[in-house]
Chain A
């Protein structure tokens, strides 16, 4: 029996739950009073600005002034520039590859953690995975410059072993570097979500499948994967969405060939082209909405951070 309302009169609390439905208007209002500051914060500084971006994307800039004419010029302009269009495709491509890689790297790990590690060590090993996640996002990207750069660890190593004569820039300022760092950044998201669903899995079913003649691979494919599908979907969403809006990783390690939509948006806004920037930003939002619509059914956002 849940006591639903802490903020109303004590007499109200003593009422049986059935009668509480007819509680006074004041009581009902008091029930929601806690939302007031949140409505102010999220309404004024989250929802309104997002609405504003939508409007801006359909308005025009004339001589650095925004004119409230409704038009699709910003979108038309965006899609008329071949570099922008190819950047959109590149962003989707990088996001898909990075997401798949992250999950492919995380699944065996979470599987190992949930199945083979004794319960009492699981938690500490999990904390070790999340630990880098709780350090600065900027620094996690930055730290890769020490490894990938021309004077970085990899090039030094190759030089030392005599495999290369001079620094190879392949490791930096291109898409592979971007994808590598993205996998690094979002691995904890995937590992955590996958572990959460693997932990609930009943391994006896797995053994039953093998008793009935299934190979371990078949058992994983036919018994395990279908049951942890919601977890996989959640992992995909929580990895894919932030990657779509990445700015820093392509900026620091991507160079000219690793550009993503995020970089275009920042360039537009820093160049005071608000309406065009808004259109590009809305493009990301649209991609996110499409993704959420596709996975609507298995969306689990109750407690994504395992807090």
Chain B
């Protein structure tokens, strides 16, 4: 089954080889910019680019001593935590009726809920800018950025939790209620523990997305800076090795968080031991 007949023919082998080379090129294409970025962040050269004149970590030292960066980091994390809270609660709550109720216009509701992912962030940014400044007369602040980012991150949580809820064994809940559990108890002791891995993954997604979000934040942050916004303002003056170092750190942070989002739910699931291992996988 796995062996195709045409692989045996010389021509088939050629096609296969060519495709493998193509795939290798694509991986190089995908990772070259990122690898170079990290490489340059260790380069002693003042201009943040080739040639490599020596290795140093002094740019990283400068990153940690720059008070603007420290400010931006504090704002970024504060915003990310608030966005995580909002989108996890809203997304999880909405996943239940989305999956389980007899919804009129189900596909319409579904599309509306994932629309914020699909449409360009630019539109979300400018439309909220108009709402906040011209209609509600709010000063732009990290709070307005939190609201804007939440609109964008919540659908991700919703999709993750809804997917898990879809594959949920309803019999478990029925059994709990047969044993006398009330609504709260069913939710607290049966449903939420089973959904925990998905909710956790959703929260980590939301946190990472918020950390990296640029376009919506650009319109709504006002006088403050998040790390992406800070990097953006610096890039206008040209590439510097400090910015490369900061960028490398931010890259590492998002990759670590995403890895966590993929690994942690599995660990939690296993730790809870509520589901047989086979079903959990």
Contact = CB atoms under 8 A, between A and B. Distances in A.
Interface of A: 1-10, 13-14, 31-38, 41-42, 45-50, 52-53, 56, 66, 105, 108-109, 111-113, 115-116, 118-119, 125, 127-129, 131-132, 134-140, 142-147, 149, 151-153, 156, 184, 187, 203, 207, 210, 216, 237-238, 241-242, 244-248, 252, 262, 265-266, 269, 274, 277-278, 281, 284-285, 288, 301, 303-305, 307
Contacts of A138: 212, 214, 228, 231-232
B273 interface: no
| Most A Cβ at <10 Å: residue of B51, B208, B232 | B232
A66 B122 CA distance: 21
9 contacts: A3-B100, A6-B96, A6-B187, A10-B183, A14-B177, A34-B98, A41-B150, A53-B130, A153-B50
Contacts of A48: 131
B127 A53 contact: yes
Contacts of B49: 146, 149, 151-153, 156
B120 A6 contact: no
Contacts of B116: 42, 46
Contact of B20 (A53, A116, A139, A143): A116
B159 A34 contact: no
Contact of B33 (A112, A146, A247): A146
B70 interface: no
Contacts of A140: 33-34
Interface of B: 2, 4-7, 11-12, 15-16, 19-20, 22-23, 26-27, 29-34, 36-37, 40, 47-51, 86, 89-91, 93-98, 100-102, 110-124, 126-131, 134-135, 147-148, 150-151, 154, 156, 158-160, 163, 170-171, 173-174, 177-178, 180-183, 186-187, 191, 208, 211-215, 219, 228, 231-232, 235, 239, 243-244, 247, 250-251, 254-255, 258, 262
